[in-house]
Amino acid sequence: MNEAMQAFIREHAIHEIECVIPDMTGMARGKIVPKNLFLAEDSMKMSRAVLTITVNGEFADYARFAGAHDPDMVCVPDASTIRLVPWAMEQVAVVIHDCEDFDGKPIAMSPRAVLRKVLGLYEARGWRPVVAPEMEFYLIAQNNNAHEPLRPPTGRAGRSEIGRQSFSIDAVNDFDPFFQELSTFCSAAELKVETLIHEVGACQMEINFSHGDAMALADQVFLFKRAVRETAYRHGIFATFMAKPMEGEPGSAMHIHQSVVDTASGRNVFSRDDGSASELFFQHIGGMQRYLPAVMPMLAPYVNSYRRLTRHAAAPINVRWGYDNRTCGIRVPPSGAEGRRVENRVPGVDVNPYLAMAATLACGYLGMVQGLEPSAPMEGSAYDLDFELPRSLEDAVELMQASSELSEILGREFVDAFCAVKEKEFETFNRGITAWEREHLQLHV
């Protein structure tokens, strides 16, 4: 057992440990283990079929991807991820695990393994990606009937938010008890959040993370979603990371800022010595333009995700890029040479953070190694241009499966397994009959 983890457990008088892995959806799967058992073991065993579970709890062809005899995999704790679970009633820690075969090889369809594979490609070139995610989410009133529309919760003033309160400090302050406790939980769990703002939608919030290593930030986003939900429960409300939770309100995104550092010098490779943009910078954008449509299942993973990506809905519909242009799917924020970066505005906040990071970095990497040139920067509104992204999950999955370049980067086994999960979810969704169908078709066709 790693000495640092042993010391953490002693220092915080930990009673038990949540041993978790992120599944394809980004949900935490695993076991809660007593301290003594955790210290006595170097790993835990779990069915590898867990990695094929859909968001609604079904298994997507697990016999094909996990094995017909439902074999185990070895889940190895990553010592760098041990943290307190600050909302637990006792002293509980959480440790994120990596999924391996019994010979020590990574399980190729594990989301952490996919991101690690992409980061390894950068490392082999002497590069290190730097990322910073922005997380949008809604606070909503608790609801027990899934057929009823979601609505904003009641705040301190005893009223629900009505209308748009973009960047309103008072609207945020209306939920001060929630945010104060969330801030305490994030600090205790070592989640490096920075800015809090009120976004455009009714009770839509955004929290930004400090920039850093992609794996570490994916871990933090994974844990942050749990922290937000748990805090909301304690305050009698819900929090949702759906991409489009309410009709008539903007969707929620996870914008990803990304740059690349030269490992040896620590220099941002997106900038030349004279401070101007480098060829690698433009090639990174070119790769995103070429390949983002093919990784859309990783950036818009559910049927609901595509409700956000509609024209004039404050979300991108294409892969145009521009300087400080928020209508584009790819934005270059104002910055100096050292901070030059690209913002991917396509991902919804409903993504698995490991897969979203892997997808956007894979696209940029392919652009850099293939020397892809971007289009001219967009100066007006990209909302008025044609759609360049898939319009549905079904189309997105088909496009992803057809990309041999991305299959090589991400791994064919992962692509096939992930697409099988998405196809299973789409199949289940299609069995349901929506309120729109009943309302407009029942008596009119």
pLDDT above 90 (res 243): yes
Mean pLDDT of 127-142: 97
pLDDT of residue 217: 98
pLDDT at 63: 87
User: pLDDT per residue over 158-176, tens digit each?
Assistant: 888 876 778 788 888 889 9
Mean pLDDT, residues 409-428: 96
pLDDT, tens digit (0-9, with 9 covering 90-100), for 268-298:
999 999 999 999 999 999 999 999 999 999 9
Query: What's the chain's average pLDDT?
Result: 95
Is beta strand 321-323 parallel, antiparallel or unpaired with respect to 342-344? Answer: unpaired
pLDDT reported for residue 229: 97
* Residue 7, pLDDT score: 95
Q: Say what the pLDDT of residue 155 is.
A: 86
Q: Are 351 and 254 spatial neighbours (Cβ–Cβ below 8 Å)?
A: yes
Residue percentage of the chain with pLDDT more than 90: 88
Structure confidence at residue 64 (pLDDT): 92
Pairing of strands 330-332, 321-323: parallel
- At 313, is the pLDDT very low, low, confident or very high (cuts 50, 70, 90)? confident
Q: 1 pLDDT exceeds 80?
A: no
User: Is the confidence at residue 311, as pLDDT, over 80?
Assistant: yes
Domains observed in the chain:
3-103 (3.10.20.70), 119-437 (3.30.590.10)
Instruction: Indicate if the pLDDT at residue 250 is higher than 80.
Output: yes
Q: How confident is the model at residue 245 (pLDDT cuts 50, 70, 90)?
A: very high
pLDDT in the model for residue 48: 94
The band of 62, judged by pLDDT with boundaries at 50, 70 and 90, is confident
pLDDT of residue 307: 96
User: Per-residue pLDDT tens for 174-233?
Assistant: 899 999 999 999 999 999 999 899 899 999 999 999 999 999 999 999 999 999 999 999
What's the pLDDT score for residue 157? 80
- Alpha-carbon separation of residue 340 from 135, 269, 298, 330 (angstroms): 21, 9, 25, 13
**Higher-pLDDT residue of 164, 362:** 362
